[in-house]
Structure 1
Amino acid sequence: MGSYQAFELEELQADRSRSYAEFLRRPGLSMGIYHLPTGGKDPQHPHSADEIYVVLAGRAALEVEGERFHVGPGKVVSVDVGADHRFVDVTEDLQVLVVFAPPDDPGA
C-alpha cells in the first residue's frame, strides 16, 4: 500500500451487504458507512471512541443523552466517547459516513 487510499463515495454507499461497512482503519481513526432503513431500529450503545456522523442521505432524529434533534443530508454531528446515542424515527433510508477516533468496533 502506498501513502494514501482513495474511495468512491457512490460505491461505498451502494454496498448494503451489512448495516455498518468499515472501509478504512488507521491507528488513529476508522471510517465506515452506516445504513438504516426507513422504520429501522438502531441498536447502538455508547462507544469507546469519539464519533463524527456526516449524514449523506435520508432523514431521522438523533437522540444523544436524551436530547433529540432532526438530521438529514449535510448534517454533521459529533458524539463524545461514552455518550448514549441512537438514530430514531427513521423516515427515509439513512446513509451516514461515520468516523471513529480512535478506531472502535461498533458491533461489539
Structure 2
Amino acid sequence: MKAFRLDELEAERAANDGAYLQFLKERNMSVGLYALDAGQTDPQQPHGQDEVYFVVSGRASVTVGEETTTVANGSVVYVPAGVPHKFHHITEPLKVMVVFSPPEG
C-alpha cells in the first residue's frame, strides 16, 4: 500500500519551488499535486493523457476545449487527452490533485 498526506505533499512541492509535484507513478496512471496562487497564470499545454482534476482547495475558472466552469473545493473535472485546458480567474490559491492515465512522463 502507498499512502500519502496532503500536508506533507504540499510541503515537498513548496520546498522544490514548483507548481507541480508528481508523487505517484504506476503502470497505468500517475498522480500529482498542482498549485497556483491567486491571480497566477496557468502555463499548461494539452497533454497526451486523459486527466482528472480534483480541487482540494481554492477557487477558479477552468476552460476545457470551448467549455468554461467555476471550480472550488470538491470539484472534479475530466480533461480528454489532447484537449486544451487552463485554470484562470484564480481568486483563491488553488490546489488540485491530478490523475493522468496513462501515466505522465
**TM bracket, shorter-chain basis:** over 0.9
Q: Deviations over 1:35-80 (max 9, x none)?
A: 0000010011110000000000000000011211100000011110
TM-score (norm 2): 0.92
Q: Deviations over 1:13-52 (max 9, x none)?
A: 3332310000000110000000000001001111000000
Amino acid at match of 1:7: F
TM-score (norm 1): 0.90
Q: Is there any run of 5+ residues in structure 1 with no aligned partner, and where?
A: none
Identity of aligned residues (%): 44
Amino acid at match of 1:30: S
Moved over 3 A (4+): none
Q: Deviations over 1:67-103 (max 9, x none)?
A: 1110000001111011110001000000000000111
Amino acid at match of 1:6: A
The alignment yields a C-alpha RMSD, in angstroms, of 1.0
